[in-house]
Amino acid sequence: MNLAIRDIRYRLGRFLLTALGLGLLLATVMAMGGIYRGMVEDALSIVRAPGVDLWVVQKDTNGPFAETSRIPEDVYRVIRAVPGVREASPIAFQSLQLRVGPKPFRVQLVGHRPGGLGAPPAVVAGRPIVRSRYEMLIDRKAGLPLGTEIEIGRMTLTVVGLTEGIVSNAGDPAAFVSLQDAQEIQFLKANEAIRNERARLEADLKAEPALATVPAPALAPILQDTHLANAILVRLEPWADPGEVTQRIERWNHYRAMTTAEQEEVLAKSVIERARQQILLFRIILLAVSTVIIALIIYTMTMEKTRDIATLKVIGAPDWKIGSLILQESLTLGLLGFGLGAILIGLAADYFPRRVAILPFDQYILLGIVVGICFLASVLGIRRALSVDPTTALGGGA
């Protein structure tokens, strides 16, 4: 006979409730691990989406995701002439708060040249951007249907397609527009600001005798130029060495060239590092709490069976049989709790505001940890069981 199975059947209700409580605790551990992984995937998704080899950014900066980077739009023509470069396109990024209906929401605006680099890798609904103005692709996470009109500044854009899985490091959905639209949104000043700037320019010109005859309206368009980008995306020839191309760009064009791997490192180790460390620490604390709780549960279950164990000793049950009973119940409880936790987090993952990435590798690691915890917890229970006095069975009490 299997004593563990018989004992579980005898206390089935209590055992299942205990397993459910443990499952909820392990589901929390899985959720924290999924949020940790999801945060990294969110941060890297917008960098990986263009599928390029190099990012050319303003000199002495770490790129548009870590700090401000502005370079002239037409630099892409110079970069395209560098040996080893196959394609080059300007791109613009900006974080915006939009309002559609009563509720505001934030997006990561991405401006790219239609037909050039920087477009989303796939459109899951609708169509790509085909016109040079006033069209938008947005991630499904925003919850906007096709045909939605969004007012941004002085323009109205129409959602013509939906993407999936492309968000910013803050978890905001990505919205793709044409580069011209993005430049106008980011760099074109309001009419009042333009008038104020023109008035200041006129005052400055009058203050300089050598420039007093220069008309301010002739210089104003230069100061209000919107033909800027935050980075130049570069795709290399198959035979090109990224290191050599990077050196050429930095030496002769005086911009910083970063590989996609370097951009990922900047995001993972600079932009979201503190949040990653905090979630990782919280996950470790949860695992420590889980260890203590499982140990207490197993020890308490053993204490409840003191008289039963004493009876087994009276009828001649060997110590290994009693130890096997405790170990099997401990492992059954841990595995059942893990299974319930996996089911719960699988059902709830889509309802989290941030991506929860449950990876099989992480689940296997957690399963191994749970099994190890159950083994360690059983040691306490087995030591308690083996120390039970057989006469307890005859004394009428525990």
- 269 within a domain of the structure (yes/no): no
Would you tell me how many other CB atoms lie within 10 Å of the CB of residue 61?
Answer: 18
Residue 190 has pLDDT above 70, yes or no: no
| Helical residues (DSSP H) of the chain, grouped into ranges | 3-10, 12-48, 75-80, 179-187, 191-207, 216-223, 242-248, 260-266, 273-304, 306-314, 319-348, 360-386, 392-395
Are 159 and 116 contained in the same domain?
Answer: yes
Whether 109 and 236 share a structural domain:
yes
User: 260-287: per-residue pLDDT in tens?
Assistant: 999 988 887 777 778 878 888 888 888 8
Per-residue confidence band for 397, with pLDDT thresholds at 50, 70 and 90: very low
Residue 120 lies in domain: 59-188+226-254
180 lies in a domain?
A: yes
Task: Let me know if residue 10 belongs to a domain.
Answer: yes
- 350 and 388 in a single domain? The answer is yes
- Shared-domain flag, residues 117 and 34: no
Q: Do 65 and 39 reside in the same domain of the chain?
A: no
Alpha carbon distance 215, 64 (integer Å) = 36
Lookup: tokens for 108: 């990561």
C-alpha 252/C-alpha 236 separation (Å) is: 18
Query: Residue 154: which pLDDT band, with cuts at 50, 70 and 90?
Result: confident
pLDDT of residue 231: 94
In a domain, 49, yes or no: no
Name the average pLDDT for the chain: 84
Judge if 170 and 238 occupy the same domain. Answer: yes
Give pLDDT tens digits for 211-246.
666 665 655 565 566 788 999 999 999 999 999 999
Domain membership of residue 215 (yes or no) is no
CA distance 361 to 36: 14
Is 85 in the same domain as 122? yes
Q: Has residue 207 been placed in a domain?
A: no
∠ at Cα 228 (182, 259), nearest 5°? 95
> Is 324 among the domain residues?
yes
The answer to pTM > 0.75 is: yes
How many domains does the structure of the chain reveal?
2
Question: What per-residue confidence (pLDDT) applies to 200?
Answer: 72
Quote the CA–CA distance of 246 and 47 in Å, as a whole number. Answer: 18
Question: Quick one: 108 and 8 in the same domain?
Answer: no
368 and 325 in a common domain:
yes
Residues 141 and 242 grouped into a single domain: yes
Which one is predicted more confidently, 70 or 312? Answer: 70
Question: Are 158 and 302 contained in the same domain?
Answer: no
Q: Are residues 178 and 114 in the same domain?
A: yes
Residue 195 lies in a domain: no
